[in-house]
């Protein structure tokens, strides 16, 4: 993969594609984790006396139409606060100049052709600056003009430091042969994580499941799950995965008659009533022991409805156990990172990936378009 450290950027103009798709409310950035994540790349470029224009998407606006609620203005203001410099927000590509050290182009998805990887837009983006740098791992699974076409159109393009760190960390987790290795896959649907689970079974001794995924596996193993969320179309797939004897299911779960109820009870997986739903699971002593013995842990997804206090204990105990282990731990996905922020110190996880869909597709072993364009070897 073409790297920033091997690219001449001294006194150059830089078009830097980043992921600034952060939560905003009432014109204020609620979580600046993704903004802070590009600090190392920006600091490197500033030391090289480069002039930088940032490119990012924000939400999913209708192409070709400006919509204030998808504007990057709040992000520009936060960038100014963090990096202590004026950050102009350009309304169009024609407005772009390098009078300031750092500047930002308004939401790239406002432009027609971005999501369609339009060749003309790709060329316009690649022609903005001397060097095109891609540092947005979270969008690397998208074949868009700014994430794929512009990389290919640029005379000089490379990966940013964040992207390099992301790929190194994910590759380390997937390639490491250290055992025992444990993967944790939570979430609502087996269908969205089926290929991930299959891939992780090849690099893990066991896969611990959570959320609606667990419900489908419990149903497939013959347990009554009451009115719990599950996927009937995935039952046969779940049975084939259970046959590997590498799927680690809970022994006890937290059930309630409604997701909005404050009344719940703990019961064995064989004692769920017909009018109850599983909303959390208890981390068994056996599961805790496996976490503490693991040399490598890959974690994606909560094990319960953790946003609600009554059903958050399973995810909290899981996060605390991983944080206390000596394993190399890799965590990824929006809900996973939110759980980490809620329950533990992020520094106790070896690496937290900024990617959601990109993280999952990398775990599946898929070739991600942006990485392929940069020469990454999968």
Instruction: Point out the residues that are catalytic.
Output: 34, 189, 334, 357
First and final CA of the chain: distance in angstroms?
A: 10
The CA distance from 274 to 228, in Å, is: 9
The CA distance from 252 to 270, in Å, is: 9
Question: How would you label 228-266 residue by residue, b for 16+ Cβ within 10 Å and e otherwise?
Answer: bbbbeebeebbeebeeeebbbbbebbbbbeeeeeeebee
Strands (E), 181-291: 181-185, 206-209, 247-248, 252-256, 265-268, 277-281
Give CA separation, 165 vs 79, 172, 188, 283, 368, in Å.
22, 10, 29, 31, 16
Backbone angles phi, psi at 94, to 5 degrees: -65, -25
Give the DSSP H/E element, type plus range, for residue 43.
helix 39-47
**Structure token digits, residue 45:** 């470029």
* Of 55, 145, 105, nearest in space to 370 by CA: 145
Query: Residue 126 contacts by C-beta under 8 Å, 6 or more apart in sequence?
Result: 15, 132, 149, 150, 151, 153, 154, 155, 157
Q: Is 195 exposed, middle or buried (0-12, 13-18, 19+ CB in 10 A)?
A: middle
The CA distance from 306 to 220, in Å, is: 24
Three-state SS at 194: helix
The CA distance from 54 to 318, in Å, is: 37
Contact (Cβ atoms closer than 8 angstroms) between residue 71 and residue 34: no
Q: Is 164 exposed, middle or buried (0-12, 13-18, 19+ CB in 10 A)?
A: buried
């Amino acid at each position: 993969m073409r790297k920033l450290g091997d690219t001449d950027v001294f006194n150059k103009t830089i078009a830097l594609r980043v992921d600034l798709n952060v939560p905003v409310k009432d014109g204020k950035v609620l979580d600046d984790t993704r903004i802070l994540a590009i600090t190392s790349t920006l600091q490197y470029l500033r030391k090289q006396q480069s002039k930088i224009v940032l490119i990012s998407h924000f939400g999913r606006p209708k192409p070709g139409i400006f919509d204030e609620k998808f504007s990057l203005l709040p992000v520009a203001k936060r960038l100014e606060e963090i990096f202590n410099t004026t950050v102009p927000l350009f309304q169009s590509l024609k407005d772009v100049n390098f009078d300031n050290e750092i500047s930002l182009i308004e939401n790239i998805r406002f432009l027609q052709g971005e999501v369609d990887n339009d060749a003309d837009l790709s060329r316009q983006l690649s022609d903005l600056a001397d060097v095109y740098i891609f540092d947005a791992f979270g969008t690397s699974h998208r074949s868009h003009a700014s994430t794929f076409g512009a990389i290919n159109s640029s005379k000089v393009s490379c990966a940013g430091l964040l992207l390099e760190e992301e790929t190194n960390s994910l590759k380390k987790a997937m390639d490491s042969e250290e055992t025992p290795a444990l993967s944790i896959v939570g979430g609502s649907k087996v269908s969205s994580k089926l290929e991930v689970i299959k891939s992780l079974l090849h690099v893990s001794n066991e896969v611990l499941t959570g959320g609606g995924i667990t419900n489908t596996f419990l149903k497939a193993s013959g347990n009554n799950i009451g009115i719990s969320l599950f996927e009937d179309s995935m039952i046969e797939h779940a049975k084939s995965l259970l046959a590997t004897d590498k799927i680690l299911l809970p022994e006890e779960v937290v059930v309630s008659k409604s997701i909005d109820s404050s009344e719940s009870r703990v019961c064995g997986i064989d004692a769920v009533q017909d009018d109850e739903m599983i909303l959390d699971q208890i981390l068994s002593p056996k599961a805790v022991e496996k976490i503490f013995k693991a040399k490598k842990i890959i974690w994606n997804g909560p094990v319960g409805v953790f946003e609600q206090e009554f059903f958050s204990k399973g995810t909290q105990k899981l996060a605390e156990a991983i944080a206390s282990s000596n394993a190399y731990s890799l965590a990824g996905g929006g809900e996973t990172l939110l759980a980490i922020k809620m329950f533990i110190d992020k520094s106790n996880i070896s690496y937290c990936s900024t990617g959601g869909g990109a993280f999952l597709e990398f775990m599946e072993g898929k070739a991600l378009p942006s990485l392929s364009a940069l020469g990454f070897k999968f």
